[in-house]
Amino acid sequence: MLADAVAEYLAVRRAGGFACRSENLLLQSFARFAAAAGESHVYAPTAIRWAGLVRSVPQSARRLGMVRRFARYLRAEDPRHEIPFAVFGSEKRPRPVPYILSQHEIRRLVAAASCSGYRTLRRETYATFFALLACTGLRVSETIRLRLDDITPDGLVIRCSKFRKSRLVPLHETARQGLTRYLKRRSRYAPAEDHVFVSLRRKPLLIHDVEVAFKTAARASGLVEQPGRSRPTPHSLRHTFAVRALLACPDGRDAITKHMVALSTYLGHAKVADTYWYLEAVPELMNDIAARCEAFAAGERP
């Protein structure tokens, strides 16, 4: 039965560190669809029909991509399984160029967050939250999950984040001081809660809370959406940190290689290619790349 094969396949994937939440739902749906057709193996026509049940072509490509990986796994032991062609195109859409904030825009954003809403802990919560994102490059979800015990003399311990990786993120002294000031007031407001950032409900923040607060602060600080440019989001602060770190990279092939690997590890990327993506984020980096290419074509060697 394909349902049993799906369970086995997902167990292997989870053992490799993948969460497989959406894969679980979709592959079980495909297994039921194939079973209703009286099939116990993956057949290309059936897989393509199932993937095409949704209206969006990118969604169909994503669904078929999951079945293709599943079929490839099964076919290694049973050649009766068919691997369908990617008839809906690539399941991976091009990543948009991120919205990169200037230092002045970050200061305005944090200042706007510190003045938003009533005179409550909410102001300090989001001003500190956004400032911490900007100076550490943490993911929003990682910052939300921070607990008091994760603040150590060596930095912030990010536990079992994306891809089940843990890492240590150093804190600049100014960032540590800002976090300490916030925690003094926050401890009086919600002493029983061990999450660092709390809402007015005295509970951990929700991603939706952060997105609403960011949108409010962004509007108040003048960060408006512009035609042809990605809109600013809380994750833009992580993108900005990564780009500024790349701009600080020293010259020299060996130095650049070490810098990229260190930054990839610091950001918690699964592969260094995710870090290289940031090279296309700002004109300064693209100009540097173009200049190096021209020098190489002219006969210079690194």
pLDDT along the chain (302 residues), means of 10: 91 82 91 94 96 92 94 94 92 77 94 84 94 93 94 90 76 93 89 89 91 93 76 90 78 62 75 65 56 57 56
CB neighbours (10 Å) of residue 250?
Answer: 9
pLDDT of residue 243: 83
pLDDT of residue 198: 92
pLDDT of residue 289: 52
CATH number of 103-159+167-221: 1.10.443.10
pLDDT of residue 297: 56
CB neighbours (10 Å) of residue 76?
Answer: 9
Q: Could you tell me the two tokens for 171? A: 């804190």
pLDDT of residue 196: 94
Residues noted as catalytic: 139, 162, 235, 238, 269, 278
At 181, phi and psi to the nearest 5?
-60, -45
**DSSP symbols for the chain:** -HHHHHHHHHHHHHHTT---HHHHHHHHHHHHHHHHTT-SS--HHHHHHHHTTSS-HHHHHHHHHHHHHHHHHHHTT-TTS-----TT--SSPPPPPPP---HHHHHHHHHHHTTSSSSSHHHHHHHHHHHHHHHH---HHHHHT-BGGGEETTEEEE-S-GGG--EEE---HHHHHHHHHHHHHHHHH-TT--BSSB-TTSSB--HHHHHHHHHHHHHHHT----TTSPPP-TTHHHHHHHHHHHHTPPSSHHHHHHHHHHHHHHHT-SSTHHHHGGGGSSHHHHHHHHHHHHHHHTT---
pLDDT of residue 273: 65
Whole-angstrom distance, CA of residue 302 vs CA of residue 294: 12
pLDDT of residue 118: 72
pTM of the entire predicted model: 0.69
pLDDT of residue 27: 95
